Chains A and B, each alone.
Chain A
Amino acid sequence: MILDRFGDHIFRFIVYSILILVLLVTFLPFWNILVLSLNSAEDTVRGGVYFWPRVLTLDSYNQILKDSEIMSGLWVTVKRTVVGAPLSVLVITMLAYPLSRRNLVGRKGWNLYFVFTMYFGGGLIPYYMVLKALNMIDTFSVFILPSLMNVFYMIIVRTFMEQLPGEIEESARVDGANDLTIFFRIVLPLTTPVLATVGLFQAIGHWNSWFDSYAFTYSSDLKTLQAVLVKILSQFQTGGMVSQTQMLANSAKRNAVSSDTIRMAATMVATLPIILVYPFLQKYFVKGMTLGAVKS
């Protein structure tokens, strides 16, 4: 018995050590980026800035405000998120409702039609060709239309709808409501919590996506924030080959230094909105994920 209790203490020690390690490993990198973005560029080069800023300044954020490329990227990203997320939630929900109805004609076939696309795809090049054939390359629509549907989120919404009490619907039907009225007036309001989850997921998807902007648009006024960040990153990657001391000696020193801090500040700007919506999101997604997992 005593030996067992001793073992439990060791066990608990291991458990908490692992959890603290996970906490540090996930938290410190974000903290470090924040600290670097708040430290003066010239001072950062001297190294050793990890846990708190040594020379506190908002310079890099000021520079971002003046950087037309980043600000335009931010605007495109906000636009696509605000337009794209609600639209896709609507399309997803409009599909989820019929599929949640047990008596839908051809229900199994429709499900197969949509779920099959989760496991098989045509690949990037044919996808590009489709976009080209639809004249969507280098237009804003390339951000919105292809992401309207998402089978995984549809399954989450459908599962939620299947668990709604059928009696409310039945009584509305007796009162003479058709499917359209039932959907918009009864089912949609009852589904709000899961719609909020899926909407936030889609919004984050839009906020984070860069590849469609990077590969399918050319105009600079269609570059999303993340795509601009990719550009800054690749500049750094080539610059990163040179050591920091060499960079100091470099005649292009000022440029290299500021691009590095701008990188940190831009990273923070792109991360901050996610951290801000995070508390609202968290309430729902655990439930949503588990629901989806059960069915798929």
Chain B
Amino acid sequence: MYKASAVKLAGGNSLWNRLKEQKWLFVLMLPAFIATLLFSYGPMFGMYMAFTNYQPGGGTFLHQFFGAEFVGFKWLEYFFTTGDFYRIMRNTLATSLLTLLFGFPAPIILALMLNEARQGFFKRFVQTVSYLPHFISWVIAANIVITMLASDGMFNNLLVLLGIVKEPVAFLQNGPLFWWIIALSNMWKEMGFSAIMYLAAISAVNPELYEAARVDGASRFRQMWHITLPALRPTIVILGILAVGGILNAGFEQQYLLQNNTVLEYSEVIDIYAYKYGLQNSMFSYGAAVGMFKSVVAFILVVIVNRISRKVNDQALF
């Protein structure tokens, strides 16, 4: 489609003439092109340092970078054989699987519930308030979570009041519980905002379908189950692809900001690990290798999931 129209619009001119004609368009693109080249592609080429023994100090930056001794897959091997690998992968996968388990269905359910609520102030109010946590930083969210879960915080007090626990629970000092806190706080933060896409999909449903169902005597629940939910399928698939593709993106900020010394064994995910060794301990090549492992696996995951979904559902990202 594009190609045919492009040729027609260009009036059959040669490529050079078309380029000349569009020179201002390329001038407009230039800043974005350069910014992307430097800050997105620059680091991709910089991954070369994962295969070298990079040592800072002495000479110009380029000299250090290209002059560093080439060591091949040494750092990756080191990562796989160190005892840290198991722990890091366990934390990363546990956090993201739990986050997926809570975070993925929550916005779907919220959107369905909002759709069932009568139009009016209450509905709009719930919607507005549920978006809010998305727009605050994880720094503030962590502050809030820590305050809520403190031994004298609101949540503990509620649990004691309801007789669910006898003593306040030290939530944030409990290792395995930490994963659940990450997953649930993530759900709290993003559920409202993610529901927007599902609500948009719901609003596109033909109202006649509900009309017909009502004539057939379908209850509200059945209408939701047999009309609204199937209408959400394409959106669910697309967002599912993104979620599974990002499974190694277990997050950095949440863990980093919510962790404390007692839960380090459980809070260290792959990004924190790369940061800790790469920047804090100045093992630049090792940190780069860990980061590269993550990027490559994540990319392969997106491609695979995308291909499967194209086959099964005829839905794909690219």
Interface residues of A, Cβ cutoff 8 Å to B: 1, 4, 7-8, 11-12, 15-16, 18-20, 22-23, 25-30, 32-33, 36, 47-48, 50, 91-92, 94-95, 97-99, 101-105, 107-108, 110, 113-115, 117, 119-130, 132-134, 145-146, 148-149, 154, 178-180, 183, 204, 207-211, 215, 226, 229-230, 233, 236-238, 240-241, 243-244, 263-264, 267, 270-271, 274-275, 278, 281-282, 285-286, 289-290, 293, 296
Contact = CB atoms under 8 A, between A and B. Distances in A.
Interface string B33-46: 10110111111111
30 contacts: A4-B217, A7-B219, A19-B114, A23-B126, A26-B129, A27-B129, A29-B154, A91-B32, A91-B35, A94-B32, A103-B9, A121-B43, A123-B47, A123-B292, A126-B291, A129-B61, A129-B284, A132-B61, A145-B38, A149-B40, A179-B28, A207-B137, A229-B143, A233-B143, A236-B146, A238-B260, A264-B143, A271-B136, A286-B196, A290-B200
B262 interface: yes
Contacts, number: 299
B117 A11 contact: no
B44 A122 contact: yes
A47 B152 contact: yes
Given A91-B35, A119-B302, A180-B24, A102 B146 contact: no
Interface stretch (B79-87, B97-105, B175-183, B270-278): B270-278
Given A4-B217, A23-B126, A125-B49, 13 more contacts: A11-B116, A19-B122, A113-B33, A127-B39, A128-B279, A130-B46, A132-B61, A146-B35, A208-B136, A233-B142, A238-B260, A267-B144, A293-B197
A148 B37 CA distance: 12
A94 B29 contact: yes
B174 interface: no
Given A236-B146, A241-B262, A278 B135 contact: yes
B28 A124 contact: no
A290 B288 CA distance: 36
A75 to B, nearest CB: 17
A174 B40 CA distance: 39
Q: Provide the main secondary structure of the chain B interface.
A: helix
B140 A271 contact: yes
B26 interface: yes
A110 B33 CA distance: 9
Interface in B196-241: 196-197, 200, 217, 219-221, 235, 238
Interface of B: 2, 5-6, 9-10, 15, 18-19, 22, 24-29, 31-33, 35-36, 38-47, 49, 61-62, 65, 109-110, 113-114, 116-117, 122-123, 125-126, 128-133, 135-137, 139-140, 142-148, 150-152, 154, 157, 172-173, 188, 191-193, 196-197, 200, 217, 219-221, 235, 238, 245, 252-253, 257, 259-262, 271, 274-275, 278-279, 284, 287-288, 290-292, 294-295, 299, 302, 317-318
Contacts of B123: 19
Nearest to A117: B40
Given A94-B28, A178-B24, A229 B133 contact: no
Contacts of A114: 32, 36
B39 A25 contact: no
Contact of A15 (B117, B140, B191, B295): B117
A15 B24 contact: no
Contacts of A91: 31-32, 35
Q: Which 5 residue pairs of A and B lie closest in terms of their CB atoms, listed nearest first?
A: A123-B291, A122-B43, A126-B46, A208-B137, A95-B32
B126 to A, nearest CB: 5
A125 B143 contact: no
A105 B9 CA distance: 11
B148 A146 contact: no
Contacts of A274: 135-136
B22 A241 contact: no
A126 B47 contact: yes
Nearest to B128: A282
Contacts of B292: 122-123
Contacts of B221: 7-8, 11
Given A204-B135, A286-B196, A23 B125 contact: yes
A35 B217 CA distance: 49
Nearest to A87: B31
A204 B140 CA distance: 13
A115 B9 CA distance: 26
Contact of A154 (B32, B38, B252): B32
A133 B279 CA distance: 15
Given A101-B25, A121-B43, A126 B130 contact: no
Nearest to B148: A29
B129 A23 contact: yes
Nearest to A210: B139
Given A26-B192, A296-B317, A123 B294 contact: yes
B128 A117 contact: no
B260 A241 contact: yes
Contact of B32 (A92, A126, A145): A92
A127 B252 CA distance: 16
